[in-house]
Structure 1
Amino acid sequence: MLLKHFLLGALLALSSVAALPNPEADLHDVEARDDKHHRPRCGKDADPDPMDKHKCICKDKGKEFDPEHKICRCPKDQMEDRHDPHKCVCKDQDKELVMGVCKCKGDLKPNKHGECRCPKGTRRHGDKCKRH
Structure 2
Amino acid sequence: MREEWNRISLYCRTTFHHHDGRRALEPMEFEYNRNNAAQHAAYPPRIRSVLGRAHLALMFFNQCKRLDIPITWNVPIVAYDEEAEIATAISIDGRRFLGDIVIAADGIGSKSHGAVLGHPVRAIGTGYT
Give the alignment's TM-score, normalised by structure 1: 0.18
Of the two structures, which has the highest relative contact order with CA contacts closer than 8 Å and spacing of 6 or more? 2
* Bigger strand share: 1
